[in-house]
Amino acid sequence: EIMHFVSNDTLVAKDSVCPEKSPYLVGALAGMFENVTKEKLIEEFPYLKTCGRLRPSECAPRQKIAFIFPYRNRSRHLHITLYNLIPILKRQLADVTFFVVEQAPPSTFNKGALLNAAFLEAEKLGHFDCYVFHDVDLIPLNDKNLYKCESNPRHYAVAIDKYDFELYYQSHFGGVVGFSKENYLKVNGNSNLYLGWGGEDDDFRARLVSKGYNILRYPLEIARYNMIKHTRDNGNEVNPLRRVILKSSNKRQDIEGLNTVKYKVLNITCEPLYTWITVSINNTE
């Protein structure tokens, strides 16, 4: 790529394809942990297009990325995380649409089913090359952790303060993960069988591995996050069956997942910061 200086603050040739490596990256970041209102975010980031789309103005992006936040009753975390993420994605010259996918009460939180619903609904609203599933409470601490998809899936949240900035366990694949649309279709998405806390992330990883994918990770200094302190939510109690269900992961994967998820869309709203999708999930079906 030819990159030349157009002006003092534009390091990218206008109208060309965005460079593989953005010249705006700065590396390690301190993170911002103060409460921030939705109104303040809208004021701070006027360049977010309607429905939570962020696009580089100076070049043509290589991929269209959907950011999915599985959500219930965590508005404080969501907005602090967005405050940190948006400037990073802007510096990365990423084309991103934010989706908040809220599971309506009272059913037990089912992150796997919620993510399947999010994927199907996002695909109806716009075709995406790349998906990032992002916990609402993880604050990125390095902008070189590039949000983009390759042929193999990537684990982003490798080094988290809660786990002393070390890989939690060798097969950990939680918190923030990214993969292409093709990857997700090939593995039949997430399992819908994990009610409450735990196991669904390990199941997703097992599905990817069984289809021959290798999980990518940047080094610990780069793939760094801070988790906002929290207790376990009501309606997301630890699932005592999680390890038993996980044992049959590979046997089930083609017959249970994205192709069997049952949900109802209750509402879709287009806001400046995000596309908000409320769904009900009937866990007993």
Tell me how far, at minimum, the Cβ of 58 lies from ligand UD2, in Å.
32
Q: Which is nearer to ligand UD2, 41 or 157 (CB)?
A: 157
Task: Quote the crossing angle between the two packed helices 200-210 and 111-125, to the nearest 10°.
Answer: 60
Tell me how far, at minimum, the Cβ of 137 lies from Mn ion, in Å.
4
Tell me how far, at minimum, the Cβ of 85 lies from Mn ion, in Å.
15
Helix (H/G/I), strand (E/B), else coil: 82: helix
Binding site for ligand UD2 (CB under 6 A): 69-74, 109, 111, 135-137, 157, 160, 174-175, 197-198, 200-201, 232-233, 235-236
Tokens at residue 246, please?
């996980």
Tokens at residue 209, please?
């591995």
Tell me how far the alpha carbon of residue 163 is from its chain's centroid.
Answer: 20
Catalytically annotated residues = 135, 137, 197, 200-201, 227, 230, 232
Q: Which is nearer to ligand UD2, 232 or 243 (CB)?
A: 232
Binding at 73: pick from ligand UD2, Mn ion, none (beta carbon under 5-8 Å per type): ligand UD2
Q: Say if residues 176 and 141 touch (Cβ distance below 8 Å).
A: no
Binding at 71: pick from ligand UD2, Mn ion, none (beta carbon under 5-8 Å per type): ligand UD2
- Residue 214 CA to residue 208 CA, distance in Å, equals 8
Q: Say if residues 65 and 94 touch (Cβ distance below 8 Å).
A: yes
Among 95, 102, 121, 137, binds Mn ion (CB under 5 A): 137
Task: Give the per-residue contact string, 162-201, with Mn ion (x = CB under 5 A; - = no).
Answer: ----------------------------------------
- Residue 52 CA to residue 97 CA, distance in Å, equals 5
Q: Which is nearer to Mn ion, 83 or 128 (CB)?
A: 83
Q: Which is nearer to ligand UD2, 93 or 132 (CB)?
A: 132
Sign of CA dihedral 201, 203, 205, 211: negative
Binding at 177: pick from Mn ion, ligand UD2, none (beta carbon under 5-8 Å per type): none
Percent helix, percent strand, percent coil in the chain, to nearest 5 = 25, 25, 55
Q: Which is nearer to ligand UD2, 61 or 199 (CB)?
A: 199
Binding at 182: pick from Mn ion, ligand UD2, none (beta carbon under 5-8 Å per type): none
Phi, psi of 87 (to 5 degrees): -65, -35
Tell me how far, at minimum, the Cβ of 45 lies from ligand UD2, in Å.
21
Q: Which of 112, 159, 150, 158 is nearest to 133 (CA)?
A: 112
Using Cβ positions, the residue closest to Mn ion within the complex turns out to be 137
Tell me how far, at minimum, the Cβ of 78 lies from Mn ion, in Å.
12
Cross-strand partners of 132: 67, 178
Q: Say if residues 190 and 203 touch (Cβ distance below 8 Å).
A: yes
State the residues that interact with Mn ion by CB under 5 A: 137
